[in-house]
Every structure is written in structure tokens, then in C-alpha cells.
Amino acid sequence: MQPLLELHGVSKAFGGLRAVDGLTASVRRGEVVGLVGPNGSGKTTALNLVTGNLTADSGAILFEGRPIERAAAHRITRAGIARTFQLVRVMPSLTLAENVAVGAMFGARACSPAEAQERALPLLARVGLAARAEERARSLTYIDQKRLELARALAAEPQLLLLDEWLAGLNPTELKEGIALIAALAADGLTIVMVEHVMDAIRALCSRCVVMNAGTKIAEGTPAEALSDPAVIKAYLGDDDA
């Protein structure tokens, strides 16, 4: 079966820095894949290339077998890819319901503002924010902004959801709830790629990991296999401690 997402030799440089260097990876339908590695290894840049926030210098990115490496970000969203951001991006002057409705209107299945509002409420309930639907997003804590951003991404009705450190900064109770929520989304059949530093979450949720360091893929396999690879241990700990 053809993978849902394929990257073939994808590279991106900023001046003399090769942030992503010849990355080749794939994601099958229904998988939860962890994209992990030390800070600055190129993980978020890789997500930005998939979503059209950045354009690859070379290589091919295929979604459902169709090239998207030169597609505009809004067309990639329409095709069925949604994401959250490492630095949370909500629209502070809009209500929570309006924030989520925007995701519905510009997602894979376009709809009217009225229908988008209807679709927003169950999603806010799913992330624990239903009671605050009419509040302005500016009133939210950082953690609740993350919840809102996830609901907005889900409103786009994606086939592929990209989570960029969505679990970062959660307390133990919130982390447990967050892992359960992602597991429920996966159980519904949603394909997920997680950029994440919380290894307990990677082990609990991911069937496979891709590990990056200095822009390149250095390991791939189950979480147990990938995280025990000597190259991965060296990347995280350095030569002296590895």
C-alpha cells in the first residue's frame, strides 16, 4: 500500500546552515510516527516543508502520491494536512468557537460560517473547552491555547495531523490527559506525526520513530529500537557520556 506521506531526499538550507539535509521518510495511513531528535536537529523545519510554510530546496514530498513540495500552504491544508505549532498561534480577538470555525472553513471540506460554528462545538468539547466557547481566546492560559489550536486543526478534518511539541509544558495530569486524547484520535484512524521531546509519550503512542540530528535522519524503527541506537544516544548525550 502506498504511504500517505513520502519525503524523498528533501533538503532545506538557510544560508550556510543545512537545516534539513536529504531527509527520506514515509508515513503509512493510521500510523502515529514520532519525529524526534535534539534541539536544532531540523524537526520543525521538516514539518514546515510538509505544510508549505517553507519550500524545499530539493527533493520531493508526496501526499497520497501527489507532489506537494511546491504547493501553497492553503492548498496543502485543503488536501488534508493540518498542524499545530511549536509557538502557539491563536487569534486572540476571536472567541474560541470562532477560532475553531476558521479551521473548518479553510480545511479539507469547505463550509459556511454557520456550519463551521456547529462543527466547532463538539471539537471544543473534545479538548475540554466547551464551557468557554464564547470567551475570547486572549483569556486563555498557554496550555488552553494549545488545546484550542488542536481543536482548530481537527476542524480542518485532516487525513494527516502534525503535532509540533503539543505536549510540551503540560503538568503530569495534563500530560496523561493529552496522551489519552492523542491515543483516541489515533484510534479513530487519524494519521499523526509528532515532533516531541516527551519520551514517555513517544513510547506510549508511537509505533515508529524517525530520529534526526543536524538535519539528517540518523535512525528509524520502533521507539525501543530507535532510542537505543548508538548514534541516537551519542546525539543526545555527546561522545563523552554516550
pLDDT tens digits, one per residue of 205-219: 999 999 999 999 999
Burial class (CB in 10 A: 0-12, 13-18, 19+), 149: buried
The pTM of the full predicted model, rounded to 2 decimals, is 0.93
Residue 85 lies in a domain: no
Indicate the range of 106-120, 134-148, 152-166, 227-241 predicted with least confidence.
227-241
What pLDDT, in 10s, does the model give residues 19-30?
999 999 999 999
Q: How far apart are CA 210 and CA 240, in angstroms?
A: 24
Angle at 83 between CA 159 and CA 23, to 5 degrees: 85
- Given this model, what pLDDT does residue 240 score? 52
What pLDDT, in 10s, does the model give residues 55-108?
999 999 999 999 999 999 999 999 999 999 988 989 999 999 999 999 999 898
Total count of domains within the chain = 2
Residue 59 lies in a domain: yes
124 and 74 co-located in one domain: no
Which residue stretches of the chain are H helix? 43-51, 73-79, 96-105, 113-126, 142-155, 172-187, 199-205, 223-227, 230-241
Q: Given strand 216-221, what is the order of strands in its sheet?
A: 81-83, 160-164, 191-195, 32-36, 208-213, 216-221
Residue 86 lies in a domain: no
Residue 190 lies in a domain: yes
168 and 242 co-located in one domain: yes
Residue 242 lies in a domain: yes
Q: What is the CATH number of the domain that holds 221?
A: 3.40.50.300
148 and 34 co-located in one domain: no
Residue 177 lies in a domain: yes
Q: Does residue 14 register a pLDDT over 90?
A: yes
Domain that includes residue 17, residue range: 1-80+159-242
Amino acid at 145: Q
58 and 3 co-located in one domain: yes
- Given this model, what pLDDT does residue 242 score? 47
Please say which residue of 108, 138, 158 terminates a domain.
158
Q: How far apart are CA 74 and CA 80, in angstroms?
A: 10
71 and 166 co-located in one domain: yes
43 and 115 co-located in one domain: no
188 and 70 co-located in one domain: yes
Residue 31 lies in a domain: yes
Please say which residue of 113, 130, 158 terminates a domain.
158
- Given this model, what pLDDT does residue 113 score? 87
118 and 26 co-located in one domain: no
166 and 238 co-located in one domain: yes
Half-sphere exposure of 3 (CA within 13 A, CB side): 17
Q: Given strand 17-27, what is the order of strands in its sheet?
A: 17-27, 5-14, 58-63, 66-67
112 and 223 co-located in one domain: no
What mean pLDDT is predicted for residues 148-165?
96
Residue 95 lies in a domain: yes
74 and 2 co-located in one domain: yes
11 and 67 co-located in one domain: yes
Q: What is the separation of C-alpha 68 from the centre of its chain, rounded to a whole number of angstroms? A: 17
Please say which residue of 137, 158, 179 terminates a domain.
158
